[in-house]
Structure 1
């Protein structure tokens, strides 16, 4: 008798595991948003990468074309290779963006809901949003870095490349040759600046979440209240511009490390050479096409994502709420 009492008094509730908060709808919605935005805006991404690795006219690599600006680059690529040239490297970009956004949203929302103990109306605050976004970013980077290396290599495969350079025939061919000639190390080139770039996603998601929360709190409604498309667009654009501007230099470092035409001895060597060749402005080379691409890309991704989540998850909840209300009303009438 006493033993049973002791067991009941000393027993504690078992905390819910992270697995209980996993919803695959987040993965599907994130992939959809990433794929749509990438297909629409890939040409700007192509130009951004080519600007990032451009050393300048005084130290130009012989087989690398030099561009005088965004429109000159787009026109030159189109003139040389036609419309398909503007979509060089699009396959790994679609895979990379789709999986990255899908996995990021999947990890982010699973960890977030776990920290909320399943209560989506619970506001976590800026510090926890940064922590959640950082964890989601690191997990996503580990899984997708080889895809980004392949994308960079294909985007930097110029029509004037020398015969001695490795020629890539497509996404899978690039991955195979990366592993064959450079091993695992080659597939994870740019990983260190990529880790530094986790701050980009952390800053973006923290800003995005805090703006949504503060906005809903200002209107005196739960923080998980669904917003309009215009509201999602506005918050996504502002958060992306802030994050992209603050953290942009890491993208330049990563692109240069992944470039098959130049060899560097690590991150410090890249930083030293960029500063020597171009000064501080070299760390922001390509930021104009980058902002022109990532801002609308982020808006498209977030709008597609949020609307799909509303359809996949919250529409079912609304139907349930309506059925419960009807049942309650009928019981009262009876």
Structure 2
């Protein structure tokens, strides 16, 4: 890993790739995986309907087949009236799998990379090192979970328009059909903007770590001291709002690439057509329901993660 210091014995030959990986994985803790998974699942189950609204607004490019909504409440009310609670939870299965796996793997990789980077040092990691560690964790996580996010987007964008019925029966059916008709490339649609999106997680984690550390310094306690739930919620909310405001356009581009109702020739085509037809505001469609969803989701995830991980790590000692 490029961000890690050289932990060799001074022989000048450095460590092999295998040696690097072995050292990284010596810092792996399953407790971080389980704690992150718990936080992701809980927050997703509570807030999935807002995710559905966000994606429907993100792809609202004027196609006739798309339902027209005047706002967040109108969208939720329309879906409820047409399809009931089940409609609001369309795509929840891959969302739970994706969020659980993503948060679990992210915390898993992030803590391993961070532990490796800090190995043998007395000093704290710098903001840049937190940023790089989080970005590396994000790339590894996205590579594993992208097919799940494609199926979630496809399921959320199934409109009950009647023509031919719904295309996919569920998560497994969507995965099989996408692979059969579009191959591996279909399962990795949106991967490139997703890579840009790792900057979102990296910025969020950097801000979260720095806020916690500065706050604990202000209180004159150790930098890794436990905070109370309200303090965790505040740090998580501020870091999430900062990351969303900075990186939201990639989510619009990614959702449009993964949408089954429109065809684009890659990221540049999405950007060009969105700019031409909708202007700068097109890249921020859905940001309000997104903020309303992700801010409490992030707070729930981090509070659950911090408490579950401390409990599990305490049990394993």
TM-score by length of 1: 0.87
State the Cα deviation string for residues 281-327 of structure 1 (Å, max 9, x = none): 0100000100000000000000000000111114665xxxxxxxxxx
CA distance in 2, matches of 1:161, 1:260: 16
SS at match of 1:124: coil
Structure 1 counterpart of 2:33:
27
State the Cα deviation string for residues 248-301 of structure 1 (Å, max 9, x = none): 000000000000000001111101111111110010000010000000000000
CA distance in 2, matches of 1:116, 1:221: 20
Q: Which ranges of structure 1 fall in alignment gaps of 5 or more residues?
A: 1-8, 318-334
CA distance in 1, matches of 2:66, 2:238: 35
State the Cα deviation string for residues 170-228 of structure 1 (Å, max 9, x = none): 00000000100000000000001000101100100000000111112222222111111
Displacement of 1:166 in angstroms is: 7.0
Structure 2 counterpart of 1:131:
132
Determine if contact 1:122/1:223 at 8 Å carries over to the other structure: no
1:144-223 counterparts in 2 under 5 A?
A: 144-160=145-161, 162-163=163-164, 167-223=167-223
TM-score by length of 2: 0.91
Determine if contact 1:257/1:264 at 8 Å carries over to the other structure: yes
Structure 2 counterpart of 1:238:
238
SS at match of 2:169: coil
Displacement of 1:10 in angstroms is: 9.0
CA distance in 1, matches of 2:78, 2:207: 38
CA distance in 1, matches of 2:11, 2:52: 59
Structure 2 counterpart of 1:266:
266
CA distance in 2, matches of 1:177, 1:270: 24
CA distance in 1, matches of 2:245, 2:103: 20
The Cα RMSD (Å) is: 2.0
Determine if contact 2:159/2:166 at 8 Å carries over to the other structure: no
1:52 to 58, 70, 73: 58
CA distance in 2, matches of 1:166, 1:88: 11
Instruction: Please say which structure displays the higher CA radius of gyration.
Output: 1
Aligned residues: 303
Structure 1 counterpart of 2:252:
252
Structure 2 counterpart of 1:88:
90
Q: Which ranges of structure 2 fall in alignment gaps of 5 or more residues?
A: 1-8
Residue 112 of structure 1 pairs with residue 118 of structure 2: no
State the Cα deviation string for residues 106-132 of structure 1 (Å, max 9, x = none): 00001111111177x741010000000
Displacement of 1:61 in angstroms is: 1.9
Structure 1 counterpart of 2:291:
291
Determine if contact 1:123/1:213 at 8 Å carries over to the other structure: no
Residues 161, 291 of structure 1: alpha-carbon distance in 2 compared, 3 angstrom cutoff: farther
SS at match of 1:17: helix
Determine if contact 1:21/1:118 at 8 Å carries over to the other structure: no
